[in-house]
Structure 1
Amino acid sequence: MASEPTWLPLDAVTALNRDIVAESGETYQLRDRASLQKAVDQPWNIWCYFQDRDMAVLASRLFSGIANARAFAAGNKRTGYRAALAFLDANGYELGAPDYAVGKLGDYFAGHLSQYALVDWFRLWMTPHTQGRIDP
């Protein structure tokens, strides 16, 4: 049985959003803490109740859950994406998607990409951290 992942806490997600909106000059506002908590808990619920150990499934649910919760006044999709990156990083993976591929994530929100296809997108671009990795 796989060991339990490192989960991303709510405070880390709110900090990500603060940074994201500061970068773009937008105002930080958490409008719905309960919705954000539900979104952040989605990967844990999938892990526990469905016993799904696939990191692509867990990361994609974190991404879509945060983005769709619209808990922040601005930056929900960007926060969902960065939260998924942080979750994967904390669990030994990196996402090597080029900019054009990241841009395709908009297809999910336009209804042109299913949750299953979103999982496949994450699976396609995820790789385990390399040995001797040095952060810049």
Structure 2
Amino acid sequence: MKEPLWLNQDEILAIHAELLDWFGGAGGVRDVGLLDAALQRPMNRFHYEDPSPSLFELAAAYTEGIVGKHPFVDGNKRTGFMAAYVFLGANGFDLVASEESAVERTLALAARAIGESEYAAWLTDNCDPSAAT
């Protein structure tokens, strides 16, 4: 697999700010080091795991990194989900899951009721391959 298009900190901060504008919540980064670590996680997996993870596993790593590390004051679950959504879109896949399914799965990941691999499988099952560009 060729190197994916990655999300950078400015993009994640913009996503986070937009989500707070839409849904409310306290703004601010709680720990920039944790945010950096969350954003490096999928890249490290891509470069150092053999075999390389799928795009869906990398997207799940973005979500898990943000949800698990809790770098923001508020909106971590929303931002974690949207990171996966934007990452998949930037790399040619359209996530077509219902809002209800997305909320349920992301809350389950946050509560540790499912793991990152189960979240990646859900992403795989909910991307429309015909929508890939």
Fold-level similarity (TM above 0.5): yes
Q: Which has the higher helix share?
A: 2
After the TM superposition, list the runs of 4 or more consecutive aligned residues in structure 1 that deviate by more than 2 angstroms: 24-27, 127-131
User: Relative to 1, partners in 2 of residues 1:26 and 1:114: Cα closer, same or farther, differing over 3 Å?
Assistant: closer
Q: CA RMSD in A?
A: 1.6
Alignment gaps of 5+ in structure 1: none
SS of aligned partner of 1:104: helix
Per-residue deviation, 1:128: 3.2
The count of residues paired between Structure 1 and Structure 2 equals: 131
In the aligned structure 2, how far is the partner of 1:41 from the partner of 1:122?
20
Aligned to 1:55: 55
Q: TM-score, normalised by structure 1?
A: 0.88
For the pair 1:78 / 2:44, whether they are aligned, the reply is: no
Greater gyration radius: 1
Asked whether the 8 Å contact 1:22–1:28 carries over to 2, the reply is no
Identity of aligned residues (%): 28
Letter in 2 for 1:47: F
In the aligned structure 2, how far is the partner of 1:108 from the partner of 1:3?
28
Alignment gaps of 5+ in structure 2: none
